[in-house]
Amino acid sequence: MKILLIRSNPHDVNQAVPRTLEAASAVFDDLRVICWNHRGLPLGSRDQCNDVPVLRFNFSLRYPGWRRIVRAVIGILWFQAWALGHILSYRPRVVQAFDFYAVLPAVLGRLLTGCKVVYDIRDPLALSFAFSPVLRRIVYAVDWCIMGLSSAIVVPDESRIDYLGRWGRRRPLVVVLNTCHDQLHRLDETTGYEPPPPGKVRIAFLGYIASSRGADMLLAACAGEDSFVEVWAAGSCSPAELEEQFKRSPGARWLGKCGWLDSLAIARSSSAVWIVYDPSVEVNRMAAPNKLYEALMLGTPVVLSEGMAQAHWVRREGLGLVIRYNDPVRLIEALTALRDPQALEQMRRRCRDYFLRHPTLERELKKYRRFYTRLLGASGAKRTMMQETTYRS
């Protein structure tokens, strides 16, 4: 039985695709991933992820001004046709599409081949851009129609359910949290990164680094020579000029792009992990960042912005700091709490305990597999039970 995963950006931007493959491998015996490398990364057209073939559409949008707009229009249309061609040739039983640009060819493929379509809504389209009120309603209506044409829906957090509307909520739905496996045993503390010097507070800024994720206020916090804040940043910047600002800042260390385990080691050595989003953008208020659960798994506190969906329980459980967005003065005051070694150690223990007491990835994967079984019906149920027995052994 075949499943095809479609992602309209590099498949390894976060753990969404590997997590899905881990769940699907217990149900399907033929898996494939296709994705769009629109960031112009030096990647080949063929790859593997968890021993699953990955086919990559290499068409960069990293061009300035009007050339980017033209290439975006061409790229979106070309990617749709390319993805549809793979659906027609591969003939999967299920197509799981991550976000709007990936679900369009999937829905068309369903009309042509009868495959089932799982719409995995990572970033709700109507809330992801600064649309005018009228245009937002139009975009939402289009997305709502796509939900109605899908067979089932996956969301990473319960805060996304309201976005689904009447049609979306009538479809089979599963909430799969962006949690992770316990990887602490894989981090060799003897060869990892050194902790910050006494009196210093190290903030790890990892993944997608942008002004809308608090980069400017964090740079301001570590700017002075006498600042007690140091920033370790690794990932990709938008705009690209941000990278130069981190490299020039006396209180920042730019680590470039690094692997997932390396990023975990950086987070483990830090006083806190930076997970700050601009709450004036509606999609940011319902963000479900992978880095949050990774930090809790490591026992590293987090810094979140007020207004994010997770802020209330992070504050309630004492798992980090909740700050006001774009207020560098208040940020410095808040980070002072992390200079106390005893208070920081207590916060670390609370983070680790919270991760162990709450939904782990193993439990989320079982939920995911039951979702696939229901989607496939009786014919898939027997096969799933047989494969889960093999998986557990």
User: pLDDT tens for residues 122-171?
Assistant: 889 898 888 899 999 999 999 999 999 999 999 998 888 889 988 788 89
Q: Are residues 31 and 149 in the same domain?
A: yes
Smallest Cα–Cα separation from 303: which of 268, 338, 269?
Answer: 338
Q: Which residues does residue 55 pair with via DSSP β-bridges, in sequence order?
A: 34, 46
Q: Are residues 228 and 290 in the same domain?
A: yes
Number of domains the chain is built from: 2
Please give the residue range of the domain that contains residue 18: 2-179+361-391
Question: What pLDDT, on a 0 to 100 scale, did the predictor assign at position 165?
Answer: 84
**How far is Cα of residue 323 from the mean position of the Cα atoms in its chain?**
21
**Cα gap 372→26, rounded to integer Å:** 10
Tokens standing for residue 300: 């590293």
Q: Are residues 71 and 215 in the same domain?
A: no
Q: Are residues 304 and 242 in the same domain?
A: yes
Question: What pLDDT, on a 0 to 100 scale, did the predictor assign at position 296?
Answer: 96
Question: What pLDDT, on a 0 to 100 scale, did the predictor assign at position 12?
Answer: 66
**Cα gap 214→274, rounded to integer Å:** 9
Smallest Cα–Cα separation from 94: which of 379, 299, 351?
Answer: 379
Smallest Cα–Cα separation from 140: which of 121, 155, 156?
Answer: 121
Question: What pLDDT, on a 0 to 100 scale, did the predictor assign at position 123?
Answer: 86
Concatenated DSSP letters for 169-192? HHS-EEE--------GGG--TTTS
Q: Are residues 207 and 162 in the same domain?
A: no
* pLDDT beneath 50: ranges in the chain: 190, 378-379, 381-393
Q: What is the overall mean pLDDT for the chain?
A: 89
Concatenated DSSP letters for 120-148? E-SS-HHHHS---HHHHHHHHHHHHHHHH
Q: Are residues 341 and 373 in the same domain?
A: no
Q: Are residues 116 and 189 in the same domain?
A: no
Q: Are residues 93 and 223 in the same domain?
A: no
Length of the chain: 393
β-pairing, 46-49 vs 52-58, is antiparallel
Assign residue 59 the CATH number of its domain.
Answer: 3.40.50.2000
Return the SS3 of 292: helix
**How far is Cα of residue 354 from the mean position of the Cα atoms in its chain?**
20
**Cα gap 276→365, rounded to integer Å:** 27
**Cα gap 296→182, rounded to integer Å:** 10
Tokens standing for residue 313: 């329980």
CB 225 within 8 A of CB 152: no
Q: Are residues 272 and 241 in the same domain?
A: yes
Q: Are residues 377 and 267 in the same domain?
A: no
Q: Are residues 86 and 162 in the same domain?
A: yes
Predicted confidence (pLDDT) per residue in 10-33, tens digit:
776 667 898 999 999 999 999 999
Q: Are residues 246 and 148 in the same domain?
A: no
